[in-house]
A and B are shown apart, each in its own frame.
Chain A
Amino acid sequence: MSSLAGLLRKETLHIVRDRRTLAVIALLPIVQVLLFGYAIRTDVKNVRLAIVDPAPDHATLAIRGRFDGSEVFHVVAVLREASDLEPLFQRGSAQEAVVFEPAFADHLARGLPARVLIITDATDPNTGSSRLNYASAVIQDYEREIRTRSASARIVPDVRMRFNPTGESSNLFVPGLMAFVLTITSSLMTAISLTREKETGTMEALLASPLRPGRIIVGKVAPYLVLGLLAALAVIVEATLVFRVPIRGSVLLLLAEALLFILVSLALGMLISSRTSSQRVAMLGALVGTMLPTLLLSGFIFPVESMPAVLQWLSNIVPAKWFVLIARSIMLKGVGLAYLWQETLILLFMAVLLLRMSTRSFHVRLA
């Protein structure tokens, strides 16, 4: 009877029998995806729109009329100068602006490109890009209509994202969500389960047994590795089935990278447990040490590019940042390892370093 098999079996029973925690773990990815997919929908109603129309003519007035009549937009200001926009954006009293060039109708009539600039506040990139799409649609609508009269008429919209120039799409939450779910199943669960064994004294019994420390560690964390992979799969499946989030790159590579991130998280969980002796402290430690950085500093919710320099720098030591970057590139850009080897190396380095530190802290307890 293999001692390792026994350990793995025991740990699996711990997980399976803790019904409440298991339910949370099983439901977490599902609920989160639904939450981020539906509830935190990018709601584009009552968009506060400012219009800059230096020389009003029939064309610009027609388009303005369409914005006025739209349910989506609420025109808050009509300005002469584009420079007057800045304070409106700063205060947030305008979320979007449409800027016409002078002689708009004249250009249209002569078949020259009539230029219009759409600017949107993209601090929240998802709603920002939705707003852009709505405004473009209104203008394109108008363009289609006048083309029935003069085929050479051309409106050239130019778009600009304020505060977050990269303007990211709504598929972005899935990679971040994976990081978050993996952090919970790996760091939090491992930290708690190891600390529980310390608290109840069973760890002492394991250490007093002829089991080698390495084997105790493997028996302890391997089930959480499997659990983490299952959770990652659940997020991917749900995201693709329910929200049609594309996975343009290799699913296998994505899972391999997820495995790497799980290893990092497990090691962090072990490190946290080695510094604590009660489950409550371990839970807090995991919360502050891993979950909050994953939520706040990984680019999951807030884009790293729009953070203050200090936080941007700090985000580099957050493993989730690298995983989110990798997962986004695989899922949305469809790139392979050739483009991601640097980020992968960083994660690998973190995994090796943290695993070494955590196994050492485990050994120290024996000495």
Chain B
Amino acid sequence: MSTGHVVEARDLTRTFGSFTAVDHITFHIDAGEVFGFLGANGAGKTTAIRMLTGLLSPSAGEARVVGHDVYRECEAIKRNIGYMSQRFSLYDDLTVRENIRLYGGIYGLSRRQVRERSDRILDTLGLGHAADQRVHGIPLGWKQKLAFSVAMLHEPRLVFLDEPTGGVDPITRRQFWEQIYEAARSGTTVLVTTHYMDEAEYCDRISIMVDGRIGAMGTPSELKSEFRTQSIEDVFVRLARPPAAAESAQ
């Protein structure tokens, strides 16, 4: 297995009892890519991500993340990745600055690094006035951007965003994607899962998971031409309900 890719998975599988959540998925992600992970609820996206982030050990298959083995080198992986869950992972009862400081400490940044990066984050997000406010009181859109900045605090090579845009309005989502592009431009590889099909179009490449397997993978335009559809949404619907199944159901 070569190690040139930031993520490389081969036949990665996870079972829970007799249920196979992730079924022999094989894919890779290149450095600097924005890679979209699509799929219906329960298709296995989150399980796949949990294996790649070292939160869950695989049942079978191989995977290397930022050059480290998911079975044996979880620690090294965790040090080099960022992770933002759909629930933002911020502490509501801590202030903005305290949240940044906490995660800075967790990822082993020096006091000076923490101070510099907090200032930079607050400045970039225009959150300076709210630095000492508790996260509880700040608007959702800002929380989300802050959560992303915190996930990027230790300048990871790869960042996992698990449904980062749930529950926010289209404009905020748009702004959030600008933040993602910014990260990709500075060399961080991004793996993002989403429900929103318009967001899929923003990705460099996407994979669509169906019942634990990868149903389709490629750039958005490749997929649209392969399935001869106008939008990724159509591709998604075709995969989730194959024409044969749709007909026999009628």
Residues in A lying within 8 Å of B, measured CB to CB: 1-3, 5-7, 9-10, 13-14, 17-18, 200-202, 204-212, 366-367
Contact = CB atoms under 8 A, between A and B. Distances in A.
Nearest to A366: B55
Contacts of B98: 10, 13
Contacts of B114: 1
Contacts of A201: 85-89
Interface in B60-112: 75, 78-79, 81, 83, 85-94, 98, 101-111
Nearest first, the 9 closest Cβ-Cβ pairs linking A and B are A6-B105, A201-B87, A205-B89, A208-B83, A210-B78, A210-B79, A1-B105, A17-B93, A209-B106
A84 B1 CA distance: 94
A367 B105 contact: no
Given A1-B104, A1-B108, A208 B93 contact: no
Nearest to A367: B57
A6 B97 CA distance: 13
Contact of A208 (B78, B86, B109, B110): B78
Given A10-B94, A367-B57, A206 B87 contact: no
Nearest to B150: A205
Given A13-B98, A205-B85, A210-B79, A1 B110 contact: yes
Contacts of B110: 1
B106 A3 contact: yes
B54 interface: yes
Interface in B36-75: 53-57, 75
Give the interface residue-count category, chain B: 20 to 34
A202 B92 CA distance: 10
Nearest to A197: B91
Given A208-B83, A210-B75, A10 B53 contact: no
A7 to B, nearest CB: 7
B232 to A, nearest CB: 28
Given A5-B105, A208-B53, A210-B78, A13 B94 contact: yes
Contact of B106 (A6, A17, A204, A367): A6
B92 A200 contact: yes
Judged by DSSP, the binding face of A is helix
Contacts of B101: 6
Interface string B102-144: 1111111111001000000000000000000010000000000
Interface in B141-169: none
Nearest to A10: B102
Given A2-B105, A17-B93, A208 B54 contact: yes
Given A200-B87, A201-B85, A205-B103, 19 more contacts: A1-B104, A1-B114, A2-B105, A3-B105, A6-B105, A7-B106, A9-B102, A10-B94, A10-B98, A13-B94, A13-B98, A17-B93, A18-B93, A201-B86, A202-B87, A202-B90, A204-B55, A208-B78, A209-B83
A214 to B, nearest CB: 13
A48 B122 CA distance: 75
With a 10 A CB-CB cut-off, give which of A1, A2, A204 has the most chain B CB atoms.
A1
A13 B134 CA distance: 11
B93 A14 contact: yes
A208 B55 contact: yes
A209 B93 contact: no
Contact of A211 (B56, B85, B106): B106
A211 B110 CA distance: 16
Contacts of B88: 201
Output the residue of A9, A10, A18 with the most chain B CB within 10 A. Answer: A10
B46 to A, nearest CB: 10
B106 A14 contact: no
Contacts of A204: 55, 83, 85, 87, 89
Contacts of B107: 3, 209-210
Contacts of A212: 75
